[in-house]
Chains A and B, each alone.
Chain A
Amino acid sequence: MNVSTTRFVNPADVSALVRDDEVHKDVYIDADVFQLEMDHLWPSTWIFLGHDSQIPQPGNFITADIAAEPLIMLRDSDGLVVVVKNRCAHKGAKLVSALSGELSSNLRCPYHGWTYRLDGSLRSIPEPKGYAGSKYDLLASDRATVDESTGLSRVKNVEIYRGFVFVKLSDAGLGFHEYYGESLSSIDNMADRSPEGRLEVVGGTFRYMHNCNWKMFVENLNDTMHPMVAHHSSAGTVKKLWYADHDETDIKPMVVEQFEPFVSNYKFFDDMGVKIFPNGHSYTGVNFSIHSAYSAIPGYHESLVNAYGKEKAENILATNRHNTVYYPSLTIKGAIQTLRIARPIAHDKTLLESWTFRLVGASDEHLKRTLMYSRLINAPTSVVGHDDLHCYRAIQEGLASSDNEWVSLHRRYDDSERIDIAGEYKGNSEVSMRGQFRAWRERIVASMQAQAS
């Protein structure tokens, strides 16, 4: 990683893209800005990689790219979660290509058969005599048992929080708890909804390719004034068809329960509230959310009371947050146990993954509801997804216009945000986006300065 792989040499040029209540259009449409993000924002922040329930046994692995770094998250022989670069020390081949799988006792390169132990250390090389005198000399009598410089590169900064595995690729940036702080309460709420306090990733992954910048998706998560417009044709149609021959007294099918709140009015979303944390994190649904009115699943409330006691159980169930954004790439819905990850590929290309969780110890009805929500809202075949992606794409193309170089994030801007943006606001403010860009600027500038010094 070089200090300048882009036209941005001076941090002041980066700062100039972000104003208090508007951003320059280049943050969405400029390939150099995208590279700047991959060089500085992604490596210096804690990016979600996976969940430890995906690799329960030694040898289990998942793979993912973070800022173009191919990574393997695996469970080593001691049962520990290890993150290594998916790059053979020899000629650079990726060791495993599958998104998930199981290894025997080692990783073997498919090209020349170099093997590595599950902790990433080099184990064997065919024709080892050819490496006499080099650092790869496995026959040397004075060789240390494990020489880290010859194995797979280990990612040092790995943090596991309630099973959620985060990595920070560079040494720049804040510590994990300083970075996420109180926003971790949303992960707590999702995990606490299991009577055992544990989550398990199950049910498959939707992989939905978006031809737009990643930030359009991330901003949209706490954009409370788009659903009644953008989703009028989808959620509004569900409502129209259902109430054509039913009324409020009829028991709604789960489909109607899940779609109908999307077309609630502006007041509903405003009263929902939004909470802003430092470093770009936020959630909507401080007071209630589109998930609050779901029908109870028999036996569940009792199981939480048994596990946690009445007061804590009721606090857990009264917390029905909408989307929590763990800036820049992770968003979760604790109340319905879904997660989405933005995987940026180019300035105008982003892979969105949607995952689902089982509440360990809860009935299958919870998982069925989770799967339905994810399918109806997050799949490439989702009408709600079609509505959103159309709008993101429309922005991507509309910003090509030379007419106005600035994108407004002004709704309910107040000068007091300049001193401290953290706090609670009414839901229809665009303050979450202003908080995201403030963090965007801070983290990129800090990383550039750290590299320059």
Chain B
Amino acid sequence: MNETERVQDFVYHEARLLDEKKFEAWLALLTDDVLYWMPLKRDQLEEDLFNSLLYEDKLLLQVRIERLKSPRVYSQLPPSHSQHVLQHPEVICQGDKAYQSRTPFIYLESHMDTQLTLGGVVHHELVTVDGKLRIRRKRIELLNRESALPSIQLFL
């Protein structure tokens, strides 16, 4: 398997862990300085003093996952379910076993009788730690980020 295929497999694997709710395994794919970012406007730069739908470090991601285990997480009783549908990721090798990938996606999140459909492009920045690929940044560019949105409760 070449480097590009290895990255593509990794991106598919990550989405599968989220959809199968193997959240602890998913957390293990993140570097300690991970950024999980969903901008609110188009062409948003990190240094812009502009808000984001998500701008989360590892602590906040752990909170989301730990919260789902709480017996009082009423908004997830019953739980939501997600399904990522990914297009083939485009991969750019950065050298030093670091990579960027760009993956158009459709994301479904169902809760009881309603199903939310979102789409967009997810950008991964991956590094190699102890011989394994890890996510340093994940930027999710939602297609309808300016629209009035309902609750989005799981992980894109």
Report A's interface with B, CB cutoff 8 A.
Answer: 202-204, 206-209, 211, 229-230, 232-234, 236-238, 240-242, 253, 255, 351, 356, 358, 364, 367-368, 371-372, 374-375, 379-381, 383, 385-387, 389-391, 394
Whether A237 and B70, one on each chain, are in contact in the complex, defined by CB atoms closer than 8 angstroms, is yes
Closest to B49 in A: A367
A203 to B153, CA, bound (A): 23
Q: Is B131 an interface residue (CB 8 A)?
A: no
Q: Is B40 an interface residue (CB 8 A)?
A: yes
Number of interface residues of B (CB under 8 A): 32
Please encode chain B, from 25 to 50, with 1 for each CB lying within 8 Å of some chain A CB and 0 for all others.
Answer: 00000000000001011000000011
Interface residue stretch chosen among B10-18, B52-60, B97-105, B121-129: B52-60
Whether A381 and B54, one on each chain, are in contact in the complex, defined by CB atoms closer than 8 angstroms, is yes
Whether A203 and B73, one on each chain, are in contact in the complex, defined by CB atoms closer than 8 angstroms, is no
Task: Report the minimum CB–CB distance from A315 to chain B (whole Å).
Answer: 28
Residues of A contacting B1 with CB < 8 Å?
none
Residues of B contacting A371 with CB < 8 Å?
49-51
Chain A contact residues: over half helix, strand or loop, or mixed?
A: helix
Task: Report the minimum CB–CB distance from B57 to chain A (whole Å).
Answer: 8
Residues 69-120 of B contacting A (Cβ, < 8 Å): 70, 72-76
Whether B152 and A241, one on each chain, are in contact in the complex, defined by CB atoms closer than 8 angstroms, is no
A389 to B54, CA, bound (A): 18
Residues of B contacting A351 with CB < 8 Å?
148
Whether A380 touches B151, Cβ cut-off 8 Å, given contacts A232-B72, A253-B59, is yes
Residues of A contacting B49 with CB < 8 Å?
202-203, 358, 364, 367-368, 371
Report B's interface with A, CB cutoff 8 A.
Answer: 38, 40-41, 49-55, 57, 59-60, 62-64, 66-67, 70, 72-76, 146-153
Whether A375 and B51, one on each chain, are in contact in the complex, defined by CB atoms closer than 8 angstroms, is yes
Closest to A209 in B: B148
Whether A206 and B67, one on each chain, are in contact in the complex, defined by CB atoms closer than 8 angstroms, is no
Cβ-defined partner of B53 (8 Å) among A202, A368, A375: A375
Q: List 19 A-B contacts (CB under 8 A).
A: A204-B40, A204-B50, A206-B40, A209-B149, A229-B72, A238-B63, A241-B62, A242-B59, A351-B148, A356-B51, A371-B50, A371-B51, A374-B51, A379-B53, A380-B149, A381-B152, A385-B151, A390-B75, A394-B74
Residues of B contacting A204 with CB < 8 Å?
40-41, 50-51
Whether B60 and A255, one on each chain, are in contact in the complex, defined by CB atoms closer than 8 angstroms, is yes
A272 to B60, CA, bound (A): 28
Task: Report the minimum CB–CB distance from B58 to chain A (whole Å).
Answer: 10
Closest to B44 in A: A204
A236 to B74, CA, bound (A): 13
Pairs of residues from A and B, 10 with the lowest C-beta to C-beta distance, nearest first:
A390-B75, A207-B148, A380-B149, A233-B70, A233-B73, A386-B75, A209-B148, A204-B51, A237-B67, A204-B40
Whether A211 and B74, one on each chain, are in contact in the complex, defined by CB atoms closer than 8 angstroms, is no
Whether A387 and B74, one on each chain, are in contact in the complex, defined by CB atoms closer than 8 angstroms, is yes
A206 to B41, CA, bound (A): 11
Task: Report the minimum CB–CB distance from B54 to chain A (whole Å).
Answer: 5
Residues of A contacting B50 with CB < 8 Å?
202-204, 371
Whether A209 and B150, one on each chain, are in contact in the complex, defined by CB atoms closer than 8 angstroms, is yes
Residues of B contacting A375 with CB < 8 Å?
51-55
Closest to B64 in A: A383
Whether B53 and A233, one on each chain, are in contact in the complex, defined by CB atoms closer than 8 angstroms, is no
Cβ-defined partner of B66 (8 Å) among A208, A230, A237, A367: A237
Whether B149 and A383, one on each chain, are in contact in the complex, defined by CB atoms closer than 8 angstroms, is no
A389 to B153, CA, bound (A): 12
Task: Report the minimum CB–CB distance from B118 to chain A (whole Å).
Answer: 11
Whether B152 and A380, one on each chain, are in contact in the complex, defined by CB atoms closer than 8 angstroms, is yes
Cβ-defined partner of B148 (8 Å) among A208, A364, A390: A208
Apart from A204-B41, A386-B153, what 8 extra A-B contacts exist at CB < 8 Å? A204-B50, A206-B51, A208-B149, A211-B150, A241-B63, A375-B52, A385-B151, A387-B75
A424 to B64, CA, bound (A): 38
Whether B149 and A207, one on each chain, are in contact in the complex, defined by CB atoms closer than 8 angstroms, is yes
A211 to B66, CA, bound (A): 26
Task: Report the minimum CB–CB distance from A390 to chain B (whole Å).
Answer: 4
A322 to B72, CA, bound (A): 25
Residues of A contacting B147 with CB < 8 Å?
207
Task: Report the minimum CB–CB distance from B59 to chain A (whole Å).
Answer: 7
A351 to B149, CA, bound (A): 9
Residues of B contacting A385 with CB < 8 Å?
151
A161 to B92, CA, bound (A): 53
Residues of A contacting B54 with CB < 8 Å?
375, 379, 381
A390 to B112, CA, bound (A): 13
A313 to B129, CA, bound (A): 51
Residues of B contacting A368 with CB < 8 Å?
49
Closest to A234 in B: B67
Whether A380 and B53, one on each chain, are in contact in the complex, defined by CB atoms closer than 8 angstroms, is yes
Whether A240 touches B148, Cβ cut-off 8 Å, given contacts A204-B40, A230-B74, A389-B75, is no
A291 to B41, CA, bound (A): 28
Task: Report the minimum CB–CB distance from B94 to chain A (whole Å).
Answer: 29
Task: Report the minimum CB–CB distance from A254 to chain B (whole Å).
Answer: 11
A123 to B107, CA, bound (A): 49
Residues of A contacting B51 with CB < 8 Å?
203-204, 206, 356, 371, 374-375, 379
Whether A389 and B151, one on each chain, are in contact in the complex, defined by CB atoms closer than 8 angstroms, is yes
Residues of A contacting B73 with CB < 8 Å?
233
Closest to A345 in B: B148
Whether A386 and B151, one on each chain, are in contact in the complex, defined by CB atoms closer than 8 angstroms, is yes
A110 to B149, CA, bound (A): 28
A208 to B75, CA, bound (A): 16
